[in-house]
Structure 1
């Protein structure tokens, strides 16, 4: 005789779903919210004759298909949200004549919405959000006269919104966000006078914002962001007295912001990424409940008057960045912005000294961004609770300003600071990211940097004038991910205490005067992805690897312009697993995606290039300008996801391995200025992404391969190889038998030669001499 069963939040992961078929026909309510149900839902549960309420929401391992229901089903409440139920909504769904609430949020439904959905005329709540539907919304949806809550976000719907939507006059909450709707918002939306929540963001709506929305007097939340609306900001929006959240970001709105005199309930106002101009209206000070204001990325001009913001007693987020605003030097503020947590004034036209009054009125500030302005000096930073401070890309001069000890993120890069880093920097015990690159700082690197914090993640000191040895400061670096000392005057050897930095991903000591052998012990760092040691005084062989999977995560290797010598050992390349295999299911991402973006200088396709951000799919090996000799290892051909290989300006000899033809994503190959001989392997023609090829200044012979990318390379790819012939060189050749290659080290002699060529227009004496010379050397070898 059981009628109601509520087992919400009970762990039923070990319960067989077959037991759900044993319920009494008297059951009217079954609620199994978040019970960790697993397996396939039996369809018989929908055939219980008296079942009115069925809630199986938040059982993500629960599978099944669209329910088949009886014609006489009395079901009123059905919620399968956050399950793995899939398939198309059946046309027979209109058999649920009594249904009042249908929740299918974040399931795996697909296909079009059946027209029969419009026959569920008793519905008051409908949520189909976050599924994989397709096609337009059926016009029959306007039959749902009693609908109060409609959620259709992230459903892949397209087409226009039916004008008959205006018939749903009982709606209070409407969410059509993150679809592919096109066209304009119907004027009939003005009939939805009871709506309080309207979310239409991230679609492709065009045209002007309809004036009929002024009828929505009860509206508290309106989000039209991420569309293509144009025209000026409608005046009526500043008069919706109940509106608390207004979001119009990322449209094409123009004109001035307008006067906010009546919208005194506004708590969040987001107008960023439009084309608004003029000054910040003083009427903003009337929005006494405002907590978040973002008007960044517009064309605003004039002076920032902090006095108007001082009247906003509750504001905690203010973003005015990416405009053309200046800052008043004198601001006689009567009170402080005591709740302001985040202030972003970056990318404006703020000049001169950072005003002293700013830190007086911003006493509770935690995040301040003044980057990309024209500031010239800053005396002190007295804010006690500051956590994020960004002053980079200004013209700051003078000595190094030490932030308060509470700072977590500190960037003052790309300025003109001079002098030494003061010892007081050792007080920054909360520091995680330190970027003081691109200044004129001198002196020794403070020993304490490696002991500042257990959370220190980034140290970027590149492009200064630091000298001396690199201190042994890495005993306490368990969180360090990025270490960049590039382009200084550092000497001595690399500190072996770096092996303690087990999370290190980027290590860049390029362009210094470091005098050391190859740091093979870095193979102990399991997450190292970028290793740059270029332009130093490293010497000796690359060897002594202990593990088979040495440098398994390494993607970017630049050892160029050093004094490395010896053979290129296969062991080094065999461990580079990250360049051998790529998980194609992993989406594209950058090595770091937070406040600090990793960047490096690389020689890419023959040109020096700064990578402002480093994609994890970017791979390169640059061993150029060293003293390596011997043959190019065939194992390089296993690095199938290598995009650039530069072995130029060494003393490499022997044949070009045909295995390089397996590097199918290779975009640049530079083997120039070596002593390579033999022919160019035909297998290289398989490299369809190859944009740069440089084989110049070697001893290669024979015809240049033709077809695909090889038809695009010019003479400078082959200059200095006197034995090469064929396009694009003016020296033509006709090969009867192939010239020597890696696969044919021992030529079989036919009629005296192993291969014959006729030079057209230049005579054949040179080629004859090569053939005879090879014959003589071959005879001596056999003797």
Structure 2
């Protein structure tokens, strides 16, 4: 009995000792986790949201913000602090969080290197560090994290090559390394990563060929290699990867034809091969893919004619900047981009396609009359871009009520007639460009009721007459670009409009750099061709801060209104080649954003206001061929302008002209013996009196001596005296 009690006691004692040892081990491990977290906190030098404020030794670290722990052992399993604005580095002691499964520090401002100690996180499944400023190489020891499934290192500054060791991770599904500075080639060994579903390497400097081995990955769904330096052809083996839904190889140096194997992918919904060097015709089978939603083949060298295809699911077709020709087939597509080709005809069947949202047929050889039906797609059509073609006749007249047109661009055709009054129904219109046509009309004042209009271009037409006064209470409140140059407008400048150009009066720095249409579309960009600093330039995208007024080459008369000085956000102003008179308004000193000012070839007079020297952004100035006078102001930007800015103003003087001003001429210094004011009387009086006295005396003396010589009859004696 005693032995039994002794055995039970020993067993209980052993269990007690074991539990104490386990507790001590857990406490030690927990203490290690706590120290690792505190080390991470100490490496953060800016915490704008104070998310780490409760990370103190007085509280349990499992309750700290962003920290997750296992229930049983209270070990750290998750460190999730995405989008907190943290600045600093990632402490190497993070590698001591032995049970960590998720490290999510996306969307912060972390910098420095990702150390090899991360390779000690053997339970790590998700490494999410997207959108930071991390640099250096990707740690090769990451392949020791055998449980890794997700690696997101996009939008950092990682450099060097892609570690081929990552291909040995048995469970890796997503590998996203895009938007870094990676170089080298794509490791061939990735063809053995059978679990890989998404491979994203876009916006790097990776070169070489696309490995054909990737076609062996049956689970592969996404390939995104946009904007690298990849060469060679598209591997036909991709046609074996039946689960592919996304292929993005745009902006590389890929050449050759599109393989017929690639048109057999049953699940493909996005196929982007734009901006490469692809040639040949487009495989007809490509249009038969029922799952295809986005097809982008723009900016290649594809040729031939297009065939019709009955794909009702296609949302985007971009075939722009190729060498495709012939008539445009009936394409059932929502967003159609076929600009910069050699298409010649719009089929009448296009009127049966009523679901199109963006229609860009610009820069082709299309001719005939613009079909009326194109402006009747009232429910969905938002962009109608037909510029740089050969359309003639009148502009369609029946823009229906309730339409959603946001952009109408008919620039560079042969259109004539008048501006349709039904345009006033386009309440969502932001861009209206009818430039470079033969439109013969007066100014369409009814457009001033379009409250969203930002770009209005009628350059190089036959518009005439005065612009008149505004009929609306608040005309053109959002107008940023007004180009009426090269027309025949007359009368005074439209002072009433200048008073209400709200978008040109207010400098909104909080908006930042944003392009027009950026919030609406991912593919279409509004563009405009205007004169900038004396050059005709096409802006492929229009910044919302870009503002310009060009009324040059018309017949405007009268004075420049002072109210123009209130257009504080104006960047480019061209009033040249008109009949403007009077002075240059000194209120122009308030045009603090102005970069270019052209008032040449007018009849302006008076002095150049010295206040204009305060325009520190002014890069181009042209006051030539006017009647300006006086000294040219000096200081700031005025020190950089050349003679050509002032030529043709005969009364101007001073730098940079060679003509000096009157008060700069060098004065003559008087001699010590002769005063300047006495010099004229001296020259006229003293000199002529001496001459007269000498002449009279000499004549009398000569007569006397001649008389004596003949009287005594001895001329030889006289000659000897004279000698």
User: Could you list the runs of 5+ residues in structure 1 that have no partner in the other structure?
Assistant: 1-70, 72-83, 106-119, 253-273, 735-756, 762-783
Structure 2 residue aligned with 1:293, among 223, 236, 239?
Answer: 223
Please state if 1:311 is matched with 2:274: no
Question: Secondary structure at 1:560's aligned position in 2?
Answer: coil
For 2:232 and 2:164, the matched residues in 1 are separated by 30
- 1:710/1:686 Cα in 2 relative to 1: closer, same or farther (>3 Å)? same
Superposition map of 1:185-196 within 5 A: 185-196=138-149
Q: Give CA deviations for 1:175-224 in whole Å, capped at 9, x if unaligned.
A: 22322222234444344333333323322223344455466433333333
How far the C-alpha of 1:104 sits from its partner, in A, is 7.7
For 1:423 and 1:215, the matched residues in 2 are separated by 58
Query: Residue 681 of structure 1 aligns with which residue?
Result: 609
Query: Residue 42 of structure 2 aligns with which residue?
Result: none
Structure 2 residue aligned with 1:349, among 250, 257, 277?
Answer: 277
- 1:433/1:158 Cα in 2 relative to 1: closer, same or farther (>3 Å)? same
How far the C-alpha of 1:392 sits from its partner, in A, is 1.5
TM-score, with length taken from structure 2: 0.79
- 1:174/1:94 Cα in 2 relative to 1: closer, same or farther (>3 Å)? farther
How far the C-alpha of 1:384 sits from its partner, in A, is 2.3
Query: Residue 367 of structure 1 aligns with which residue?
Result: 294
Superposition map of 1:215-614 within 5 A: 216-252=169-205, 274-275=206-207, 277-278=208-209, 280-304=210-234, 308-328=237-257, 331=260, 336-360=264-288, 362-385=289-312, 386-404=314-332, 407-419=333-345, 421-476=346-401, 478-593=403-518, 594=521, 595-614=523-542
**Maintained 8 Å contact 1:454/1:476:** no
**Aligned pair count?**
614
How far the C-alpha of 1:520 sits from its partner, in A, is 1.0
How far the C-alpha of 1:544 sits from its partner, in A, is 3.3
Q: Give CA deviations for 1:720-772 in whole Å, capped at 9, x if unaligned.
A: 101100001111115xxxxxxxxxxxxxxxxxxxxxx56569xxxxxxxxxxx
For 1:627 and 1:238, the matched residues in 2 are separated by 70
Question: Secondary structure at 1:579's aligned position in 2?
Answer: helix
Q: Give CA deviations for 1:490-511 in whole Å, capped at 9, x if unaligned.
A: 1111001001101100000111
**Maintained 8 Å contact 1:549/1:577:** no
- 1:215/1:339 Cα in 2 relative to 1: closer, same or farther (>3 Å)? closer
For 2:481 and 2:75, the matched residues in 1 are separated by 62
Moved more, 387-396 or 721-730: 387-396
**Maintained 8 Å contact 1:508/1:531:** yes
Q: Give CA deviations for 1:272-305 in whole Å, capped at 9, x if unaligned.
A: xx32x23x54434322222222334344455546
- 1:286/1:234 Cα in 2 relative to 1: closer, same or farther (>3 Å)? closer
**Maintained 8 Å contact 2:188/2:211:** no
Q: Give CA deviations for 1:146-189 in whole Å, capped at 9, x if unaligned.
A: 33322222221222234433443333332223222222344443
Query: Residue 15 of structure 2 aligns with which residue?
Result: none
**Maintained 8 Å contact 2:194/2:218:** no
- 1:615/1:337 Cα in 2 relative to 1: closer, same or farther (>3 Å)? same
- 1:474/1:701 Cα in 2 relative to 1: closer, same or farther (>3 Å)? same
For 2:211 and 2:179, the matched residues in 1 are separated by 24
- 1:85/1:314 Cα in 2 relative to 1: closer, same or farther (>3 Å)? same
Structure 1 residue aligned with 2:52, among 84, 89, 113?
Answer: 89
Moved more, 122-131 or 686-695: 122-131
For 1:433 and 1:92, the matched residues in 2 are separated by 53
Question: Secondary structure at 2:362's aligned position in 1?
Answer: coil
**Maintained 8 Å contact 2:581/2:605:** yes
Query: Residue 133 of structure 1 aligns with which residue?
Result: 86
Q: Give CA deviations for 1:569-588 in whole Å, capped at 9, x if unaligned.
A: 32110110001003211121
Question: Secondary structure at 2:76's aligned position in 1?
Answer: coil
Structure 1 residue aligned with 2:649, among 718, 721, 725?
Answer: 721
TM-score, with length taken from structure 1: 0.74
Q: Give CA deviations for 1:541-573 in whole Å, capped at 9, x if unaligned.
A: 112312342101000000111111111132110
Superposition map of 1:557-706 within 5 A: 557-593=482-518, 594=521, 595-706=523-634
Q: Give CA deviations for 1:105-126 in whole Å, capped at 9, x if unaligned.
A: 9xxxxxxxxxxxxxx9842222
Q: Give CA deviations for 1:234-266 in whole Å, capped at 9, x if unaligned.
A: 4544333433333333333xxxxxxxxxxxxxx
For 2:168 and 2:234, the matched residues in 1 are separated by 34
Q: Give CA deviations for 1:654-706 in whole Å, capped at 9, x if unaligned.
A: 00000001101101000001110000000100011111100011000000000
**Maintained 8 Å contact 1:363/1:383:** no
**Maintained 8 Å contact 1:354/1:375:** yes
**Maintained 8 Å contact 2:204/2:228:** no
How far the C-alpha of 1:623 sits from its partner, in A, is 0.3
**Maintained 8 Å contact 2:194/2:219:** no
Bigger radius of gyration:
2
- 1:725/1:600 Cα in 2 relative to 1: closer, same or farther (>3 Å)? same
User: Could you list the runs of 5+ residues in structure 2 that have no partner in the other structure?
Assistant: 1-33, 35-46, 668-723
Query: Residue 99 of structure 1 aligns with which residue?
Result: 62
**Maintained 8 Å contact 1:191/1:215:** no
**Maintained 8 Å contact 2:200/2:224:** no
Question: Secondary structure at 2:613's aligned position in 1?
Answer: helix
Q: Give CA deviations for 1:436-491 in whole Å, capped at 9, x if unaligned.
A: 11122221111111112411011111111211111212114621011011111111
**Maintained 8 Å contact 2:526/2:542:** yes
Question: Secondary structure at 1:661's aligned position in 2?
Answer: helix
